[in-house]
Structure 1
């Protein structure tokens, strides 16, 4: 730009006080600095904004034309300065979420976030834990929501909320009539599982320690809905988040199975951020909305 905000401030002060000395005092400037700023503004555009009568400055026709425009520019600049200093402006976000979170929780948070006064946009990428972690690490996403444990030196991993995996089957499956399963039941069952690299698979394998090599895994699928449909058709039994299964249990299209007490399937959902990523007001607002779920 050919002009500075300081030059515009001097122009408005001079228009207000009609005296360069008083204008300079109001801006905590020397008289010579204020005079130079005003002259530079006029010389840069080869214009004259004041009629000079002795020590008195009086806006001419051109000055009166531009005064409201300059006031508007400086008012907007002041608002922007306040927003920068307070860090309260909520802006657009690039969010990554694992499949369970992205398909069943994140969309509701998006709706609330986009309904804030500035109506910011949110892009949501849904993938497995390893993919979301890589995208956050490469600064391609502002924040990630994951369901698997993660150890990465570049990333900050913050607990969000608890979750639990549930083993389930169709109402017609032979195991549906059992009040409780044994480890032998788990070995003999046919499984429909999430793919390797997913947080759900990671939590499942932790809970099934000691049995993994004996399990009969028929299918490994990336999508929770595909797993539910496969289990509904009696291809096998599955293990997914309780968040994913609530509606199906309520309808009766799937039923939960009680596993041995020593099989623990509780876990955490996490926020992940790059350690060098600036924590904007938008990121803070998103995390707060997630915690309110």
Structure 2
């Protein structure tokens, strides 16, 4: 089917755009065809026809691998946005208030302690919605939003990228903590000497939590004794609980452990551990009804 807008005859099909985008994602025409439930020859022909119709090349062919080239990268966001709008239009024809599919990415603190509850509330309000949640660190989530693999990202780290729209969501604060038996557990306020003498169990570089920690202790970083860098908050809490060192995580992730006194909060009053959580979306991502409702629910949560 040829796609028409007004009186303009568009000499490409939505299926050709789907093949183009699937090939850009998988870098292989066979896997792209499988993703779209079509034959390899049909997918290959669709991509070939698209390129021949406009005398262009969207990929560099390296054996069986398709590597998107500069032109392909430039056109990909527009193709993604057009397909998103086409899907929203079809959804509107079928049922105007149906939310449909939503792909959410969240960093570890948000994903483990906030996003699941929001997702449960979202599904209760929109039972027909299909919501997928991917949890990773800030660097990974931002890359997936850039690649259109995710509709929305909820991140902890500060981020600047010309293709991403970054919006403040809610305030958060990091908390230094230790086990009840740690020598620093009874200290009212940690001095620089205390911070330097401690062994630290921290999140890995690339995470929003680590970014906020590094900013708060920027002047001491070269001399800090970092014993372990772990990817998961629960692993860090467990390591600190067993006495391996002290940690620093979001207060959101520590609430239960502090209330049950398995861990002890420590103060370093001269340090600013405040930060924000953010929404990130690709600037050319179509804001579907599902995306708008998700963002509204997050803001009201």
SS at match of 1:264: coil
**Higher mean displacement: 155-164 or 116-125:** 116-125
Q: Is the 8 A contact 1:90 1:118 kept in 2?
A: no
2:53 aligns with none
Cα deviation per residue 1:25-80 (whole Å; 9 max; x = unaligned)? xxxxxxxxxxxxxxxxxxxxxxxxxxxxxxxxxxxxxxxxxxxxxxxxxxxxxxx8
1:277 aligns with 285
1:166 aligns with 175
**Structure 1 CA distance, aligned partners of 2:161 and 2:97?**
30
Q: Is the 8 A contact 2:98 2:128 kept in 1?
A: no
1:122 aligns with 131
Cα deviation per residue 1:136-157 (whole Å; 9 max; x = unaligned)? 0000000000000001111000
- Unpaired segments ≥5 residues, structure 2: 2-88
1:31 aligns with none
Q: How do residues 1-12 of structure 1 correspond to structure 2 at under 5 angstroms?
A: none
Shift of 1:85: 11
1:244 aligns with 253
Residue 150 in structure 1 maps to residue 159 in structure 2: yes
**Structure 1 CA distance, aligned partners of 2:148 and 2:91?**
27
1:138 aligns with 147
Residue 83 in structure 1 maps to residue 92 in structure 2: yes
Task: Assess, with a 3 A threshold, how the Cα gap between structure 1 residues 121 and 82 changes in structure 2: closer, same or farther.
Answer: closer
Residue 113 in structure 1 maps to residue 122 in structure 2: yes
Which of the numbers 294, 297, 300 marks the counterpart of 1:289?
Answer: 297
Shift of 1:118: 4.3
**Structure 2 CA distance, aligned partners of 1:86 and 1:164?**
42
**Structure 1 CA distance, aligned partners of 2:220 and 2:156?**
22
**Structure 2 CA distance, aligned partners of 1:283 and 1:142?**
7
**Structure 1 CA distance, aligned partners of 2:171 and 2:91?**
38
**Structure 1 CA distance, aligned partners of 2:297 and 2:223?**
42
1:52 aligns with none
TM-score (norm 1): 0.70
CA RMSD in angstroms comes to 1.8
Shift of 1:113: 1.1
Aligned length: 214
- Unpaired segments ≥5 residues, structure 1: 2-79
Q: Is the 8 A contact 2:91 2:98 kept in 1?
A: no
**Structure 2 CA distance, aligned partners of 1:159 and 1:86?**
32
TM-score (norm 2): 0.68
1:268 aligns with 276
Shift of 1:291: 1.3
Task: From the CA coordinates, give the structure whose radius of gyration is larger.
Answer: 1
